[in-house]
Amino acid sequence: MNIIEFDKAQAKKKLTQGWYGIVDIGLQEKLLIAGDSKTLWGVFLAQEKSKSVPAKLRTWLPFIAWEKNQSWAEKQTPKIKAMWNGKGDMDMTLIGTPFQRSVWKQLLKIPRGKTKTYLDVAKAVKKPRATRAVGTAVGSNPITLLVPCHRVLASNGGLGGFAWGLPVKKRWLNAEGALKASA
């Protein structure tokens, strides 16, 4: 897996054209993916039915000239499926602050079927007192599912939060075998 890292200012200088499309990898939710010919930039839940550029993308990276490219998206589907199943990887561009990117790289180390707490992640990035900041970084992860923010739980054993809702988080964790029957 090759990971390119940019903050938004760097991304604005380096990235101008982006593609997006909607894919179905067999989850209950369809995914809105974004990227270019080299790497994947974003994986979000597809919540809009509009034919125009999804608001999520316009808000996230407003300087990009977005173009729907369903053919590109469909070519990414097998790679996304394989990575979701723990059997592959793909090149990604992480666009965020240095702290966010350090948190997201820790999420990539959490194997399928396992979980960590926000405190575990905070300790891993050498900021053990920054669990709230870690939670904010986890919640702003633009590559949902593949940079597995759903695998981070509250220290008390609860699910914690999730940008796409706790039912989705619980469903994904159950699909990975990461939750005990009592969770």
Per-residue pLDDT, 88: 87
Q: Note the pTM of the prediction, 2 decimals.
A: 0.91
Same fold, 3-93 and 97-176: no
Could you state, in order of their start, the residue ranges of all structural domains in the chain?
3-93, 97-176
* pLDDT tens readout for residues 23-40: 999 888 899 999 999 999
Per-residue pLDDT, 183: 42
149 catalytic, yes or no?
yes
Residues of the chain predicted below pLDDT 70:
48-52, 181-183
CATH 3.40.50.1100 for domain 97-176, yes or no, is no
Angstrom distance (rounded) from CA 151 to CA 149? 5
Q: Which CATH class is domain 3-93?
A: alpha beta
Per-residue pLDDT, 49: 63
Buried b / exposed e over 120-158, threshold 16 CB at 10 Å, is: bbbbbbebeebbebbbebbeebbbbbbbbbbbbbeeeee
Angstrom distance (rounded) from CA 56 to CA 20? 11
Which entry of 149, 168, 178, 179 is annotated as an active-site residue?
A: 149
Per-residue pLDDT, 182: 42
